[in-house]
Amino acid sequence: MSRLRRGAEQDTRIGFRSERRDCSASVPQGLLKAARKSGQLNLSGRNLSEVPQCVWRINVDIPEEANQNLSFSATERWWEQTDLTKLIISNNKLQSLTDDLRLLPALTVLDIHDNQLTSLPSAIRELENLQKLNVSHNKLKQLPEEITNLRNLKGLYLQHNELTCLPEGFEQLFNLEDLDLSNNHLTTVPVSFSSLFSLVRLNLSSNQLKNLPAEISGMKRLKHLDCNSNLLETIPPELAGMESLELLYLQRNKLRFLPAFPSCKLLKELHVGENQIEMLGAEHLKHLNAILVLDLRDNKLKSVPDEITLLQSLERLDLSNNDISSLPYSLGKLHLKLLALEGNPMRTIRREIINKGTQEVLKYLRSKIKDDGPSQSDSVIETAMTLPSESRVNVHAIITLKILDYSDKQTTLIPDEVFDAVKSNIITSINFSKNQLSEIPKRILELKDMASDVNLSFNKLSFISLELCMFQKLTFLDLSGLCACVYAFICNHIWKFLVK
């Protein structure tokens, strides 16, 4: 009779009395009887607007059948049967929960998702054994401070609510392994999150986060971090030190740069699609030894570095909807299952090859490596070694892709060695973008009979020489990022020549 004594301590008014008769309409007696044996009660999808009292009091009131039959078999001794440990009341119309919640102290699972709750009762602090709490898809605007008393909580699911902040002391939930805060209105992540040492999965997607605290790297066991659909402009470099990280989602943000990932040697998936990333360099790739999926779609990439071949484990590479005109032939050496290229202005691979799918593209790229031949590769290396180190001319691009690329060097002059490297090779594209050029290099006219594509964007050009009109094959001229007066000059003096 210990259960009766415990119940009496919690509610001195009950004594020995039967369950309330108004419960049978919403909760069949058979369900309650089964719950006393199994410790689990599922009331999902029963159109409940409130939780019946008989549910809260299932552990303290004498069951109705006790008054109907005074001779119990061994399986019907209700006083020996288990306390409720799992309660599911999801997919109803609940607007609130009462403090009677405290009458179920043995609960380890409480699932209330898909209701209309605007708050949680302070009595939730009494559920000290709770390990999983699902309050997703409700209308919570804030959490009670008492929720931080749930020290045994391992899974907390708060997605699709209206939360703008988290209560003080949230870091006291140090046993949390799975935390879902997606689809709320959070603008910051508390620095104290670094104390959530047990966290394995953290979902912060679809909030209003502009940055992440560097302290987030303190989550040493974190494997899955989802920050999709926020307002992130940068990623703290400390994030690259999270050694356990396996899945990183940063899609649909405002990122322009990626950090290197020197310590993320277990990273299997990196999703950075739908951002504003302009450059992908060797430093971003060289440590991603375990990467399987790399999603770079819908960015502003203009090229793919040769170092992409370092990703020997890569299976899926999404480059769709960027500004990539060519691919390194060495990409054909990777064992990709998917290579997405749609939406790029490809000039070195025919559209019909791309339309045939991943394996045909890889086959084509491999064939071009063979066509180049080993002797040509040797000459590329030899030529590159004879050039000054500060020039770093991509001779491979000159010979195989017909591109003279000296972009993103922040130089005020294009060295003569860059033009000398062309030698007798045919050049169709010139890329001198993202430098500090104040005037167009005079030696560019040496390529006037070959080049059809000239990119001088994001320099400091104060005027444009009419000598550009001497490029007889010019079909594409990129001068974006220049001052308004330069554009006016183009409109007045050059455009009519380009039209011809």
Note down pLDDT in tens along the chain; length 500 residues.
Answer: 344 434 434 444 443 344 444 576 678 888 988 999 899 999 999 999 999 999 999 988 776 655 555 555 555 565 667 899 999 999 999 999 999 999 999 999 999 999 999 999 999 999 999 999 999 999 999 999 999 999 999 999 999 999 999 999 999 999 999 999 999 999 999 998 889 999 999 999 999 999 999 988 889 999 999 999 999 999 988 888 888 999 999 999 999 988 888 778 899 999 999 999 999 888 888 888 899 999 999 999 999 998 898 899 999 999 999 999 999 999 999 999 999 999 999 988 988 999 999 999 999 999 988 655 443 333 333 333 333 333 457 776 787 678 888 888 888 888 888 888 888 888 888 888 888 888 888 888 888 888 888 888 888 887 776 667 788 888 778 887 765 555 555 555 554 444 44
C-alpha span between 94 and 114 (Å, rounded):
9
Please give the structure tokens belonging to residue 349. 């691979």
Is it true that domain 39-46+84-365 has CATH number 3.80.10.10? yes
Please give the structure tokens belonging to residue 235. 């990623």
Place of tokens 């708050």: 119
pLDDT at position 488 is 52
pLDDT at position 397 is 73
pTM: 0.70
Q: Where are the domains of the chain?
A: 39-46+84-365, 390-499
Selection from 45, 53, 54, 58 nearest residue 91 by Cα: 45
One fold for 39-46+84-365 and 390-499: yes
Selection from 100, 62, 53 nearest residue 81 by Cα: 62
pLDDT at position 3 is 46
62 strand-pairing partners: 18
Class of domain 390-499: alpha beta
Tally the residues of the chain: 500
